[in-house]
Amino acid sequence: MERSPGSGGRWERSSPPAPPELTPDVEELQSRVQETLELLSPQDLRNFRLLLKTVDEEPRVSPVKLELEGRKKAGLARLVAQNYCEPAASRVLVKVLRQLRRADLLRLWQGAADRGGIPRKILKRSYDCVDGELDRYDLSGSRKAFLMCVEKSRPGAHRDIELMKEWLGQCQFEHTACIDPNKMELLRKITLFRDGLNEIKGDVGCCLITLMSHGENGFIKMEDGEKVSLQDIFEMFNNKNCPALQEKPKIFIIQACRGERRDSGVETDDEPMESDDVSEKRRLPTFSDYFIIYPTQADHVALRHPRTGSVMIEAMSEVFKQYGNKWHIADFFTRVNNRVVHTEFHLHEEPIKVSLVMESTLTKSVYF
């Protein structure tokens, strides 16, 4: 016979079992995973759950658990932390973030996977503090880069190549190298590169061109001294000639002199820095979505050290190592410029100063 609370027998309400206590290491892992999830867009978060079902790391998270416990970020983080032990959890995050193309988060978890530990506290990127996603470019497509460098008679250029290849890899770019070309070889290779973009069209997310050589205002010089017009190269990738890049960012990093003038700077009272639609068819401007960075002002020399390489390239590498992909590209190069401007340089024992110059027709923010 059934008993009721008032029938004299003892009645107890059953309760779900208490969740297992978490060790400090699992708690810290869960915290880092949740920080990562907080930085994902709603679309990325949906894709994260889908990818988690297929990641080739045992034991896999069951679809039932994902449905029941992984709807919210906190539950999803707890599920990952409790299901995988380190370093398996870091490997899982690396595999998923690589497919999401979140290079800023990937490098932290990659470092943790390599060390067999848990990544440090994750910094928010500037757009992660802003609601909405309409003001940043969608870089989920392939990222293509063209890397040209004149190495002959440019001591330190080999270091520039090493640093740029490292940076491009960290930002998830596939790059095409072109080292010590003559004028015709450069134009042929960069035309093939542009035509390749047009062939894959819808799959391109971003294009980056790096040109490192001697130069003068408006031109770069090949290893045989022949000049190539920068404007001609820019035009190759405009909205008419490269429809694959319409409304997609086109980034140009130019490491070359722009003239012979030298800026020795001015003295200040500050302490010295430490050294060493009107038609039926929507229209676009011919030139849009460009970002061009120069290592110096017009008509001025650029600086390159025989051992450490070019000043701008070295500063890019240092800022990226310190902050990763935290900022929109213009803010990133503003940081780089800050470092360059406040560093003392000498040329033939005379003080010399440089300042980077940015030109932009971007319509959204660029986060790698």
Catalytic amino acids? Answer: 214, 257
- What contacts 240, CB < 8 A, 6 or more positions away? 286
Residues 192, 355: Cα–Cα separation, whole Å: 33
> DSSP alpha helices (H): ranges in the chain?
24-38, 42-54, 63-69, 73-83, 88-100, 103-115, 157-170, 183-200, 230-236, 311-323, 329-341
Angle separating helix axes 24-38 and 88-100, nearest 10 degrees: 0
User: By the 8 A CB rule, do 100 and 138 touch?
Assistant: no
Residue type, 59: P
User: By the 8 A CB rule, do 36 and 109 touch?
Assistant: yes
Asked if omega into 87 is within 30° of 0 (cis), the reply is: yes
- What contacts 367, CB < 8 A, 6 or more positions away? 104, 125, 127, 136, 137, 139, 325, 327, 328, 329
Longest dimension (CA), the chain: 104
Q: What angle do CA 141, 147, 150 make, to 5 degrees?
A: 175
Angle separating helix axes 311-323 and 157-170, nearest 10 degrees: 30
Q: Is 240 exposed, middle or buried (0-12, 13-18, 19+ CB in 10 A)?
A: exposed
User: By the 8 A CB rule, do 157 and 149 touch?
Assistant: yes
> Considering only CA atoms, which of 323, 353, 322, 355 is closest in space to residue 337?
355
Residues 302, 355: Cα–Cα separation, whole Å: 9
Residues 154, 309: Cα–Cα separation, whole Å: 9
